[in-house]
Amino acid sequence: VEARAPRLAGDVMRVVALVGPMGSGKTEVGRMLARRLGWSFIDTDAEIVAGQRRPIADIFRTDGERGFREMERAVVRSVVRGRNRVVATGGGAVLSAATRRALRDAGPVFWLTAPVDVLLQRVGKDAGRPLLGADPRASLERLLRERDALYADAGEPIDAAPPIGAVVDSVLRALSAMQETVRVDLGARSYDIKVGAGTLALLGHELHTLGARGRVVIITDRGLMRRFGLRAVEALEGCGFDPLPVTVPAGERAKSLRRASAVIDALAAAGVNRAHTIVALGGGVVGDLAGFVAGVFMRGIRFVQAPTTLLAQIDSSIGGKTAVNHDRAKNLIGVYHQPALVLSDVDTLASLPSREVRAGLAEAVKYGMILDPDLFAMLERDGPQIIGAAPGRELAAIVARCAATKARVVALDEIERGPREILNYGHTVGHGIEAAIGGALVHGEAIAIGMTVEVRVAQRLGLADAALHERQTRLLETLGLPTRVPQVSTEAVLDAMRLDKKRREGRIRCSLPEGIGRMRLGVDVPVPLLEEVIDACRESS
């Protein structure tokens, strides 16, 4: 039997299990690993002993190995139903195929393996091992011969001979490597986007890897503090950090200079300095606010994005644009400040309302249209199932793919001198509709309508054919997104696009599609044509 390949990102990491022979250090490694993840630790042998109120040797004597294995299967079945747990199993747990499967279905499984000498030396300190008998070395060698293939089938091997701390680090590195990684190439400001499921628990480990030490300020909103913040705090504490949560109210109103100033007061009061790190835990609002604060506080301190909405994972957390709003305009006050890492845990999206998931997928459709035909096809294939389902492998793959697309554009044009305007697809008109209708549509819905108008403009200009418009519309509709201009006057939309009377006869610059993954940038569209197409895209037509 060959060692199992590392599990792909998207298999949700609910439980991390350790298997391996006696003496491999499962309990000690498990306990320390749990602390680093901010999770709880369960040792199945200890659970059995607690349940039976007698030592394992007694159970073997009275119930035999079969009776013990039966109890062990039941305990494993129940512990894998939970989440945020590290589970250490008994050395023989892998004998049961059902147990191996139950562990694998709950998350990554690691096989702690070490040479017999090391195992014997460790076991020697510990009496009461019922299976070793009179000749421990011979017994252990026989057990390993029988079981190694089963351990290999159960999990990924980890060298458990080094001291415990080093073994825990190996497991953490292996968990981290199971995420999909996208590099944002910006020279000295380059960083990774890591996408996984259940991987918010790796926050402390990832920050440690970045070289962060000491204080970590977690900026989040009050609801998300309850939902994810406490776990993040525990994961950070378990990795030796000193976390400081700072909460803001949920919603766009938090993106204000006043709120930024209040957050800065909290940082100053806590003695935060340039050696410390800010983590944005939340949607685009929290990301923009925290990024802005991180960008201006002491002229910029290290900043990590931990986005928890689909929009934030595929769009706002990437690219270093940060801002707060002004009474006169959204995002009027901001800086470019790149994060040092984007840690996207798609498992956090489980609690996101499905309307927000759909809205995020509108931006994914945009990425497919502007640069990535394969992503567009993935959305056609997997998109509808993703909505309302538990986040998993398909969603993680889509998030990583979108992140890669945005990363490519950002790398070409960090501060929006040109190519980044490709990202405006659907937004020229979409922003107008969003502003004109105010509140009735969420951003992604307005963008879906905006893309529909813009692809039809492209068609009218002879850049795109009818099939392109139809394929895009079909995808948007299967994702439950609107494609018709709602009850708002074209006048109001054009006003909101800041096309005053004088400019109505003129032209407006748009990025328009010629095919899937093929865009024409900077097309001058006559405003009267735009007006006509908006009218043609009404709900009644």
Ligand X SMILES: NC(=O)c1ccc[n+]([C@@H]2O[C@H](COP(=O)([O-])OP(=O)(O)OC[C@H]3O[C@@H](n4cnc5c(N)ncnc54)[C@H](O)[C@@H]3O)[C@@H](O)[C@H]2O)c1
Q: What amino acid occupies position 164?
A: I
406 counts as catalytic: yes
Q: Is 284 in the site for ligand X (CB under 6 A)?
A: yes
Q: Is 348 in the site for ligand X (CB under 6 A)?
A: yes
* Count of residues engaged in binding ligand X, rule: CB under 6 A: 26
315, 394, 445, 454: residue in contact with ligand X (rule CB under 6 A): 315
> Reduced to 3 states, what is the DSSP secondary structure of residue 83?
coil
SS3 177: helix
Distance CA 525, CA 541 (A): 22
Write down the least CB distance from residue 312 to ligand X, Å: 4
Cβ atoms < 10 Å from Cβ of 249? 12
Neighbours of 142 (CB within 10 A): 12
Candidate residues 277, 308, 344, 490; the one interacting with ligand X per rule CB under 6 A: 308
Neighbouring C-alpha atoms within 13 Å toward the C-beta of 410: 30
Instruction: Count Cα atoms within 13 angstroms, Cβ side, for 64.
Output: 2
Q: Which stretch binds ligand X (CB under 6 A): 42-50, 143-151, 208-216, 348-356?
A: 348-356
Q: Are 479 and 361 in contact (CB under 8 A)?
A: yes
- Residue 344 C-beta: closest distance to ligand X, Å: 11
- 422 binds ligand X, rule: CB under 6 A: no
Residue 427 designated active-site = yes
- Each residue 234-253 as x (binds ligand X by CB under 6 A) or -, in order, gives ----------------xxx-
Q: Taking each helix axis from N to C terminus, what angle separates 164-177 and 26-37, rounded to the nearest 10 degrees?
A: 50
User: Could you say which of 276, 302, 406, 456 is catalytic?
Assistant: 406
Dist. CA 517–CA 202, nearest whole Å: 34
Do the Cβ atoms of 237 and 278 come closer than 8 Å?
no
Catalytic residue among 420, 421, 434, 456: 420
- Supply 408's token pair: 């490519």
Q: Is 155 in the site for ligand X (CB under 6 A)?
A: no
Please indicate whether residue 416 is annotated as part of the active site. yes
- Helix, strand, or coil (residue 142): helix
> With binding defined as CB under 6 A, does residue 311 bind ligand X?
yes
If the CB atoms of residues 12 and 93 are measured against ligand X, the closer one turns out to be 12
Q: Is 255 a catalytic residue?
A: no
CB 511 within 8 A of CB 422: yes
Told to check if 404 binds ligand X by CB under 6 A, we report: no
**Closer by beta carbon to ligand X, 321 or else 401:** 321
**Whether 358 contacts 481, CB under 8 Å:** yes
Choosing from 234, 363, 434, 454, the catalytic residue is 363
Q: Is 221 in the site for ligand X (CB under 6 A)?
A: yes
* 194 assigned to active site: no
- Write out the residues near ligand X by the rule CB under 6 A: 221, 223-224, 250-252, 255, 282-286, 288, 308-309, 311-312, 315-316, 319, 321, 331, 348-349, 351-352
Residues designated catalytic = 299, 321, 363, 406, 416, 420, 424, 427, 431, 443
